[in-house]
Amino acid sequence: MITASRMSVPSAGRYYNNWRRESPDGLSAPSENRDMRPGAIILCGGKSSRMGRDKALLPFGPECMLQRVLRLVSDVVPLHAIVVVAAPGQGLPVLPGAVRVARDERQDRGPLEGLAAGLQALAGDVDAVYATSCDVPLLVPAFVARMFELVGEHQIAVPRDGEHHHPLAAVYRVTVLPPVRKLLDADRLRPRFLFDDVDTREVPVEDLRSVDPSLSTLENLNRPGDYRAALVTAGLPVPADLSD
């Protein structure tokens, strides 16, 4: 297991506080969202079978992958409103003390299971959450802030690329917890079922290029080649076992 150094996150929530006054593309934040209490859920309990190693613990410069994603998300969401959702018994790197950790109630049931655990952990403390996986080290904080803006009065705002949704780059109001639980109880595990059941705003991915021109926030790493490419893009050293 990789031993990770202790994190330092000096500017947690700074980006979101700025966004409440003015959005990343120069537009004022909608009045219904200016007082929104934002939260975030970072899911890291997947099998990582295609990567061959626990993606949460993969080195990414001086951090591991989970630490990096957490740091980037914390530019938008205060640390005390972030929950990391892991599999039962999964080892985690050192995280800031304010960050909560929850566990999937049942393992290997996909993002809805993790979403339910995260929403339950944050119940009463936030109004909406940005949900992400831990394998998006090129995440752009402005993308997160923009998704909070776009949820408006909807229950969910989710990026959509053609017929493909990105449920782990979406904002969910905490009020979706009951319908999520209902789907889990019925073994209807596809996020698309949730989007069909509640008021969902589908955001064309092209509309998000104003804050993330390369849409790198949507580039999750599944295979060693993806990991290597992301390190190169970030200008970070590539481990010897990934070098050409």
Instruction: Establish if 241 belongs to a structural domain.
Output: no
Place of tokens 């039962």: 88
In this prediction the pTM is 0.88
CA 33-111-239 angle, to 5 degrees, is: 100
pLDDT, tens digit, 9 for 90 and up, residues 72-92 = 999 999 999 999 999 998 999
Instruction: Establish if 4 belongs to a structural domain.
Output: no
Count: domains in the chain? 1
Instruction: Establish if 28 belongs to a structural domain.
Output: yes
pLDDT, tens digit, 9 for 90 and up, residues 4-39 = 333 444 344 555 555 454 554 444 445 456 689 999
Residue 97 belongs to what domain range?
14-233
Instruction: Establish if 186 belongs to a structural domain.
Output: yes
3-state SS, one letter per residue, for 178-211: HHHHHHHHCCCCCHHHHHHHCCEEEEEHHHHCCC
Q: Sort 131 into a burial class: Cβ within 10 Å, 0-12 / 13-18 / 19+.
A: buried
User: What CATH number does the domain containing 119 carry?
Assistant: 3.90.550.10
pLDDT, tens digit, 9 for 90 and up, residues 162-216 = 999 999 999 999 999 999 999 999 999 999 999 999 999 999 999 999 999 999 9
